[in-house]
Every structure is written in C-alpha cells, then in structure tokens.
Amino acid sequence: MNEKERNRISRFLSLVLRHKPDEIDLRLDEHGWADVGDLIAKSIVAGKVFTSQDLEEIVAANDKQRFAYNEDRSKIRANQGHSIDVELQLEAKDPPEQLFHGTVERFLPAIRVKGLLKMNRHHVHMSHDRATAEKVGERRGEAIILTVRSEEMNKDGFTFYLSDNGVWLTEHVPVKYINF
Ligand code: HQG
C-alpha cells in the first residue's frame, strides 16, 4: 500500500471511528473500540479494501498517531477527536504552565466573548508546542496562535487530560486564561 492509499484509508478510518460508524454499520463500544475483523469486513462492503496488515501499517505510519490498538490487537479506536458519544477514560493530568491553540482570525471575535469552546468535539484541543498549534490553525487559513495559561487554570480547578497521542484536552477555556 503506497502513501496516498494509506492516507485515503486513514481519512476513512477517522470518519468511521470518530464521527460516523453508522455509515458502514460499525459498532463501537462505549469506550470507542471497534472489532478489527468487523471493521475490515464492513469497510470492504463500503468499497475500502485493506488487510489487517495494511491496517497495522496505517496505524504505525499515521502522522499524528490518530489510532491505537488494544493489547491483543483485536480492537482499534481513535485516540481523540470524536464527535460521537464515547467515554475514552482519559486520565487527568497536570498541564505545563502554558499550552497553545491554533485558530484563525475569523473566530477571534467569538473566542474573545465565549473563550475556547469544544464545538463539535468532546474537548478543546491544545498542544504543548507552538509548531503543532500552527499546523492545526493552518488547516483553515493563516494561523493565529493563542496561549492558554493552563497551569493557572488547573490551580483554579479545571481538569486537563493528555490523550495517548499527546494532545492536551479540556472542557472549556474561559477568556480570562487566554493570551491573545
Ligand atoms: C474554534 C485535528 C468560534 C477553534 C487538528 C477551532 C487538531 C471557536 C474550531 C484537532 C470558539 C473547532 C482539533 C468559539 C473555539 N467561537 N470558534 N468560542 N472556540 N473555536 O476542528 O482545535 O487531523 O473542532 O479555534 O490537527 O481546530 O482531526 O478543533 O478553529 O489536533 O486528528 O473552532 O483536529 O486533528 O475546530 O482541531 P476543531 P481544532 P485531526
């Protein structure tokens, strides 16, 4: 499987493991896990053909480590980014002093009023390095990087989580903790 093909399947996996499992009649358990055999079989029906070995390659090669297997590799899930209702059982973790969030100019008026909202996802996504936040913002245009005073937030009682692929997550970032 070449890189282009891997990316195509990877995007398809994001769709069915994070947002629309119903589209291929895939069942995810309450923690977001899909059975690997079931995923492969139902993907084939949907015209996305890959083997379990292809899947292992896709998971290993994924630029953001978006997917993970359980211990015996019988199940797979997305590490974060869901819009459907799953409980990832993330562990709370103390954040560094500051975290970065990449966005674009046109969202700033709303962010200045409401702070950072999780929008369609389960959490607000932040990164510990500015470069990653730049990439996140650039998906939508010229990136604007906001600094979140995460340590202060945490001291004030807000909970932070670190996903298995290194994304920092929290429910909501009120305006007063954002440096624009
Ligand atoms: C913005 C991708 C108006 C927020 C990326 C963002 C990341 C507001 C957008 C991951 C707002 C939501 C997450 C407010 C926040 N008013 N707009 N009050 N608060 N926003 O995609 O952080 O490829 O849900 O700034 O690389 O862009 O999917 O979040 O622009 O890691 O693995 O609303 O998704 O990773 O957009 O991206 P998103 P995000 P994957």
Find the mean pLDDT for residues 27-37: 97
Q: Strand pairing partners for 178?
A: 148
Q: How many domains does the chain have?
A: 2
Residues 124, 71 share a domain? no
Token reading at 145: 């990087």
Residues 52, 115 share a domain? no
Closest CA to 5 of 38, 76, 54: 54
Domain contains 148? yes
114 lines ligand 1 (CB under 6 A): yes
82 lines ligand 1 (CB under 6 A): no
Residues 149, 119 share a domain? yes
Position 94: which residue type? Answer: D
Residues 36-55: pLDDT tens digits? 999 999 999 999 999 999 99
User: Residue 64's domain is classified under what CATH number?
Assistant: 1.10.10.970
pTM, entire model: 0.86
Q: What distance in Å separates the CA atoms of residue 52 and residue 30, rounded to the nearest whole number? A: 23
pLDDT at residue 167 tops 90: yes
| Per-residue DSSP letter, 16 | I
109 lines ligand 1 (CB under 6 A): no
The residue out of 78, 109, 137 marking a domain boundary is 78
Nearest Cα residue to atom 7 of ligand 1: 136
Residues 175, 104 share a domain? yes
Domain contains 87? no
How many angstroms separate the alpha carbon of residue 44 from the centre of ligand 1? 31
Domain contains 142? yes
Nearest Cα residue to atom 14 of ligand 1: 111
Range of the domain at 36: 3-78
Residues belonging to the chain: 180
Q: What distance in Å separates the CA atoms of residue 84 and residue 14, rounded to the nearest whole number? A: 12
Q: Output the CA angle 132-137-143, nearest 5 degrees.
A: 105
Q: Which residue has the tokens 């996903």?
A: 163
Residues 74, 104 share a domain? no
Q: What distance in Å separates the CA atoms of residue 152 and residue 30, rounded to the nearest whole number? A: 32
Residues 111, 68 share a domain? no
